[in-house]
Chains A and B, each alone.
Chain A
Amino acid sequence: MRLSGWGRYPVLEARTHAPRDAAALRQLVATAPPLIARGNGRAYGDSAVHPAATVEMRRFDRMIAFDPASGQLVAEAGVLLADIIAAFLPRGWFPLVLPGTKFVTLGGAIAADVHGKNHHRDGSFRACVDWLEVMGPEGEVRRCSRQEDPALFDHTLGGMGLTGIVLRAALRLRPVETGWIRQTTVAAPSLAATMAALEAAEATYSAAWIDGFATGAGLGRGLVMLGEHALRADLPPGQAPFPAGPRRRLSVPLDLPHFALNRPGLRAANALYYRTGGRKAGSRLVGWDGHFHPLDALHGWNRLYGRRGLVQFQCVLPPARAEPGLAALLAETAGAGGGAFLAVLKRLGPQESAFSFPMEGYTLALDFPANERTLALLDRLDAIALAHGGRFYLAKDGRMSAATLRASDPRVEGFRAFREARGLTGRFRSAQSERLGL
């Protein structure tokens, strides 16, 4: 079948399998050609696709045990973070790390070692994982943790499915008093102001929406959104502590024609969003879903970009070179590139891991429609990020070159060596890993 990631670019013809249990999965690992696990397909590019064999993990979707004393949940890899919230938020527990969509599987969150708006305080997904069970190249299942086979643990978190198939994981949830977030919005008129606001933020959650069309003095202007779990005492009397399930979802039923999201319209919409956001600046209570996942409310929003799909560019720059690097990336985007349809900036904190994306610094994510002009722009953005010591998020990539990856990340050699040593290279491969020489 024709398969792609969330961006619907690139699209590949791939054979898929959807095993129901470990025995069927073992059979596949033993007999199928090189294969890759697939969670809920929310990585943008070709991380979760291999033409010869793509193994869907959504049927491994059982929760196994929960310990209310420690907040530890044991669950199969196909469970969605959305399911965990649905089951445990009403009991006062919340994931420690949540990416910008809740429709990701545990396996996907582990393989990409995802980060949330609290990375600067709490770290990446790894921080909440106690142990993993991973099926290796001979179909054997091995448990790993910080104590037990730590090398497998380190390389699997952030290993993009290339170290085996995650079957189960134990993770710690965070106790919360309510499902509400005290959200504060601050308008920042320039890149320096946006960065200063993120730097000064003491809130648990912070991220900035950037006007991806603004140029000149307004380059990098944005709305910095800060969030804190609301306490019971913060709620007005009569307010239920846990908001009712996510809002009714609207969905995009059809691919829009490619001109529907057009640049002049978006430029105006961005400017308007910035001005009204600035006027509404201040503090208010919002439901967790609205704070973390504004896009989830519009089901299938990737179809807004039409048949050709979208690509996202995401890199992280070290603190010392972040400001000039971000300025150059945004100027290139808004100038010759014609603007980014969506731009988000986050502060990341220190990170330990063998191959995870995050590192201390600033991460910028830019969405574009997939077309020739965008692909040419992305090559230029790669070069700017490289020149400023940046590295790239594989979960968003579907087009980077192997040379760029190697130039950006000295850890590639070590990751490859681990794959060789454990006999993983011939067994677990994605279209992305082949393109990037992993």
Chain B
Amino acid sequence: MRAPVLILGARSDIGRAVAHEFAARGHPLQLAARDAAGLEPDRADISLRHGVAVTLHEFDALATATHDAFVAGLPELPGIAVCAVGLMGRQEESERDIAAALRVMRSNYEGPAGILAVLANRFEARGSGTLVGISSVAGERGRAANYVYGSAKAGFTAFLSGLRNRLARRGVHVVTVLPGFVATRMTEGMALPPRLTAQPQDVARAIARAVERGRDVVHVRPVWRLVMAAIRAIPERIFKRMRI
């Protein structure tokens, strides 16, 4: 039987797509989210379509004190864990309201890194497993438009890189996913350029392929590699005056 896949933040559009993608490849699933019971229709749908076992688990990324117990309470330690938790917030609100900013920082860095740290130690003890963190190109360079979110993603990207380095010789693989724009609930109502925008299913396919092929860092749409290289190359003294 294929390795069970744990999906953290399973209600997210990307998380749902990842669930279908792995289920279609025959993996049983553990779906973790806040208000997990509300995912019952998805559980029924996925197990009907793909004939795999799917279980639901209550999970709050910000309740870091519960993470050990959460993992211990899973029916079985998963072979693959994908973290799709994230919160973009609204930049103006994050500027005005520090509590809101802290929530964005914690939801994109502290929570996701915390739960992956717990899983990493158990995977390391077992000597196998794959951890997938969905970070963002927003973490590649801070911009006025979304630097609170971006800074937390930058932290998460660095955390994933370090974790990969630490576990590389311990049989545990870490994948960093750096999507550009994705058409999801998070970006609903924003005018996204179609050529730079991926669908959740594209992200899901890229993740499943990266896990199977042992890739380290994936951009879902390759053009983002170029876009971000260009953005990083702009000298700070020019960059600080730009609106991008």
Chain B contact residues: over half helix, strand or loop, or mixed? helix
Q: Could you give, for residues 39-50 of chain B, a 1 whenever the CB lies within 8 Å of some chain A CB and a 0 otherwise?
A: 001101100111
* A interface majority secondary structure: mixed
Is B185 engaged at the interface, CB distance under 8 Å to the other chain? Answer: yes
Q: B44 is contacted by which of A20, A63, A86 (Cβ under 8 Å)?
A: A63
Q: Which residue of B lies closest to A86 (CB)?
A: B49
A273 on interface, CB distance cutoff 8 Å? no
A87 interface residue (CB < 8 Å to B): yes
User: What is the bound-complex CA distance between A63 and B185, given in angstroms?
Assistant: 21
Residues of B within 8 A of A360 (CB): none
Count of A-B contacts judged by CB separation below 8 Å: 23
Query: Could you give, for residues 44-80 of chain B, a 1 whenever the CB lies within 8 Å of some chain A CB and a 0 otherwise?
Result: 1100111100000000000000000000000000000
Count, chain B residues at interface, CB 8 A:
9
Which residue of the partner chain, among B45, B50, B51, B185, contacts A62 with CB atoms under 8 Å? B45
A87 touches B48 (CB 8 A): yes
Contacts of A61 in B (CB 8 A): 45
For residue A91, which residues in chain B have a CB less than 8 angstroms away from its CB? 51
Inter-chain contact B49/A87, CB cutoff 8 Å = yes
Contacts of A87 in B (CB 8 A): 48-50
Looking at A63, A66, A83, the one whose CB has the most chain B CB atoms below 10 A away is: A63
Which residues on B sit within 8 Å (CB–CB) of A83? Answer: 49
Asked if A217 is at the interface of the complex by the 8 Å CB criterion, the answer is: no
B-contact bits for A159-197, CB 8 A (1 contact / 0 none): 000000000000000000000000000000000000000
Bound CA span A66–B44, Å: 10
List CB contacts (< 8 Å) of A40-64 with chain B.
Answer: 61-64
Bound complex: CA of A4 vs CA of B236, how far in Å? 46
Which of A62, A65, A86 interacts with B42 by CB under 8 Å? A62
Distance in angstroms between the alpha carbons of A64 and B50 in the assembled complex: 13
* A interface residues (Cβ-Cβ under 8 A, vs B): 20, 61-66, 83, 86-87, 91
Further pairs besides A63-B48, A64-B41: 20, Cβ < 8 Å: A20-B185, A61-B45, A62-B41, A62-B42, A62-B44, A62-B45, A63-B44, A63-B45, A63-B49, A64-B44, A64-B45, A64-B48, A65-B44, A65-B48, A66-B48, A83-B49, A86-B49, A87-B48, A87-B50, A91-B51
